[in-house]
A and B are shown apart, each in its own frame.
Chain A
């Protein structure tokens, strides 16, 4: 278990192997009422191919912004993200979004086939790939169902199938299970790992749950409260394939969770204080007006 506190370099790579995802000097500033709010500050990460990389941070630390920048849905204010492409046809990334993101007006099948169809994959490939991932996620019998007929957990499975079927260079996941109850969450974590084991693509996974981070990740980045910086990097020693429930029996599991919490505690407190101060300030302003 290696921990590098507040470092800006974290490469665990042999310098000869290029990173699958290389993030250097990344920053993002939002202008809010003529004032610049720094959401992300000097993020440097090298993620080797095949790593399950998890980012944990207090709410509002900019972790979703970071993922959206990696996805190309937002632009950074400084620095850059490079995703190494293995072949030209493949999309660079596919995202599993937080909350409901599958199209309510498409069947499960059409949702899962969305990426492949958008890039004009041949019908036979669409059929095989989508069929495979629906099978993997236990959705084969629901291929013709519409999302409103499915439970929240099933809908998130469609989202997983959609991202995997698109066969991207890297997979990005933004708190995909945060809206689910505990039991469903555990089930889906197991399924996600099972599907991922097949070809172990590089993953960047955002979560606010320390347990989830330790359960799923190979390496965890703990982020500071706003402005979001890398506070610590923690390697998770557990072997793969992992048993999501069995893992909780392992004594090191508790140690890992404790260690991450230790890094996170001050940041969470700081976020709360900032929120309280903000609310207090608003209250004062409102009272002052009267």
Chain B
């Protein structure tokens, strides 16, 4: 079985400070921050100059300013909202459709050796299949409608969550189960007060990985059989040779990916106040 590496409970920044004195370190951090903003800005400026001067082929690398212009047009005529909304909706539905069974199956597998023995070969056997290879099959089964896209996301989310949940439950110290038994906790209470919270740090890692994978798969699924969504928008731009629109799509997907990762981290922080420093 593939074991997912899970970070320790505390998502707080590591406290180990390297040897240089504090003042210099603080200055160093500011420089780091400036550099982090400066480098993408510099790239955009170079890109702009490159395109305008003709060093870069405008057909493939339209100037950043014209990409932003295109973006504003698409926001104004509502096109961008429509596609972004469609993708986010599929992502949202598919996410829950993948996470809920993954959590239940994962915790039951973690708690019961029998279930683990029975299901591990199925899950580890199908895990290495590239999910993109399943797209034609999914289209065949669910048709070209919404369900095929939602199913793709669900499949992507399911695996990392189920695998991380199992390993999260298995990592819980046996003493906590002894305590629960000694204090007369029912099976449901053990599930709720020991297995679920104990595995939560690992589960959230799985959710973060799963959400990322879901985003990859939604873009892919929308390129093949959809009339809306960011994947469709990018594909459509290729067919119509509207390169600016293609870049807008890519940028929006990047922003969604970033936002989802932040959101998952924030939810993890709220769900696990005990690991806050």
Q: Tell me the dominant secondary structure on chain B's binding face.
A: helix
* Minimal beta-carbon separation of A273 from chain B (angstroms): 31
- Whether the pair A118, B273 counts as a contact (CB closer than 8 A) is no
Please tell me if the beta carbons of B200 and A105 are within 8 angstroms of each other in the complex. yes
Give chain A interface residues in 79-112, CB to chain B under 8 Å. Answer: 91, 93-95, 97, 99-106
What is the CA–CA distance of A102 and B275 in the complex, to the nearest angstrom? 14
Q: Would A71 and B182 count as touching, CB distance under 8 A? A: yes
Which of A72, A99, A100, A115 has the most CB atoms of chain B within a 10 A radius of its CB?
A115
Chain A residues near B183: list those with CB within 8 A: 91, 94, 114-115, 118, 162, 166
Q: Are A118 and B274 in contact (CB under 8 A)?
A: no
Knowing A97-B175, A148-B275, say if A103 contacts B193 (CB, 8 Å): yes
Docked Cα-Cα span, A119 to B180, in Å, equals 11
Contact A146 B184 (CB under 8 A): no
Q: Name the distance in Å between A108's Cβ and chain B's nearest Cβ.
A: 11
Closest to B198 in A: A105
Let me know if A147 is at the binding interface, CB within 8 A: yes
Q: Which residues of B contact A115 (CB under 8 A)?
A: 183-184
Instruction: Find out whether the CB atom of A95 lies under 8 angstroms from the CB atom of B274.
Output: no
Q: Mark B165-202, 1 if CB is under 8 A from A, else 0.
A: 00000000001101111111110010001100110100
Asked if A32 is at the interface (CB within 8 A of a chain B CB), the reply is no
Q: Which residues of B contact A286 (CB under 8 A)?
A: none
Does B9 lie at the interface of the complex (its beta carbon under 8 Å from any beta carbon of A)?
A: yes
**Cβ distance A93 to chain B, nearest Cβ, rounded Å:** 7
Q: Which residues of B contact A250 (CB under 8 A)?
A: none
Partner of A119, one of B184, B198, B274: B184
A105 touches B175 (CB 8 A): no
Instruction: Report the separation of the CA atoms of residues A71 and B175 in the bound assembly, to the nearest whole angstrom.
Output: 14
Interface residues on B, range: 20 to 34
- B180 CB contacts on chain A under 8 angstroms: 118
Q: Which residues of A contact B189 (CB under 8 A)?
A: 118
A106 touches B274 (CB 8 A): yes
Number of A interface residues at 8 Å Cβ cutoff, please give it: 25
Within 8 A of B (CB), among A52-72: 71-72
Q: Verify if A73 is at the interface (C-beta below 8 Å from B).
A: yes
In the bound complex, residues from chain A placing their C-beta under 8 Å from that of B186 are 118
- For A103, the closest partner residue in chain B by CB is B176
B123 within 8 A of A: no
B272 in the interface, Cβ–Cβ < 8 Å?
yes
Q: Are A73's CB and B178's CB within 8 A?
A: yes
Name the residue of chain A whose CB is nearest to the CB of B186: A118
* B185 to chain A: closest residue by CB: A118
**B197/A103 in contact, CB under 8 A:** yes
User: Shortest beta-carbon distance, B75 to chain A, in Å?
Assistant: 43
Instruction: Judge whether A104 and B184 touch: CB under 8 Å.
Output: no
The closest CB in chain B to the CB of A116 belongs to: B183
Complex Cα spacing A100 to B179, Å: 11
Tell me whether B176 and A146 are in contact (CB under 8 A).
no
Contact in complex: A99, B200 (CB < 8 Å): no
A148-B184 contact, Cβ under 8 Å, with A99-B175, A105-B197, A105-B198? no
Q: Which residue of A lies closest to B9 (CB)?
A: A104
- CB–CB B182/A146 < 8 A: no
A residues near B176, Cβ cutoff 8 Å? 101, 103
Per-position 1/0 for B264-277, Cβ under 8 A of A: 00000000111100
Q: Closest CB of chain A to B96's CB: distance in Å?
A: 23
Q: Do residues B274 and A147 form an inter-chain contact, with CB atoms below 8 A?
A: yes
Top-8 shortest CB links A-B: A105-B197, A115-B183, A146-B274, A118-B185, A105-B274, A95-B182, A118-B184, A118-B183
Q: Enumerate chain A interface residues (CB-CB to B < 8 A).
A: 71-73, 91, 93-95, 97, 99-106, 114-115, 118-119, 146-148, 162, 166
Q: List 11 A-B contacts (CB under 8 A).
A: A73-B182, A101-B176, A103-B194, A104-B9, A105-B198, A105-B272, A105-B274, A106-B193, A114-B185, A115-B183, A118-B185
In addition to A91-B184, A105-B198, A146-B273, 14 A-B residue pairs with Cβ atoms within 8 Å of each other are A73-B178, A73-B182, A93-B182, A97-B175, A97-B179, A103-B176, A105-B197, A106-B197, A106-B274, A115-B183, A118-B183, A118-B185, A147-B274, A162-B183
**B residues whose Cβ falls under 8 Å from a Cβ of A:** 9, 175-176, 178-186, 189, 193-194, 197-198, 200, 272-275
